[in-house]
Amino acid sequence: MKNVKVKLTRTIIIGGSAALAAAVLFAGLVVAPRSATALPAYAQKEGKACGYCHANPAGGGPRNAKGQQYEANGHSFKK
């Protein structure tokens, strides 16, 4: 009987540890920062070069003041 209790306790500990590890992994994936991606469709839509809104002339990465304004205005230069 004691052997059965030990096996049951060990199974519960291993199962609980696996569930906890899965929950931590899932939470990490959910809250992990996502990288921003440049969308050439915006440049095409507005008739502007990517560097018009981005600090990098090739586009992508952080936005300059015009890019921040564009984002804040719902991805439009029109008010």
Q: Confirm whether 79 is domain-assigned.
A: no
Cα–Cα distance for residue pair 66/79, rounded to 1 Å: 14
Quote the pLDDT of residue 6: 65
Q: Are residues 28 and 46 in the same domain?
A: no
* Structural domain containing residue 12: 1-34
11 and 29 both lie in a single domain: yes
Q: Quick one: 29 and 1 in the same domain?
A: yes
In angstroms, the Cα distances linking 5 to 2, 10, 64 are: 5, 8, 64
Does 78 map to a domain?
no
Token pair of 24, please?
Answer: 């931590």
Name the residue with tokens 């230069």. Answer: 77
- Which DSSP letter does residue 47 get? T
- Per-residue pLDDT tens over the stretch 16-31: 777 787 888 777 777 7
| Overall pTM surpassing 0.75 (yes/no) | no
Same domain, 50 and 24: no
Count how many domains the chain has: 2
- Kindly state whether residues 26 and 46 are assigned to the same domain: no
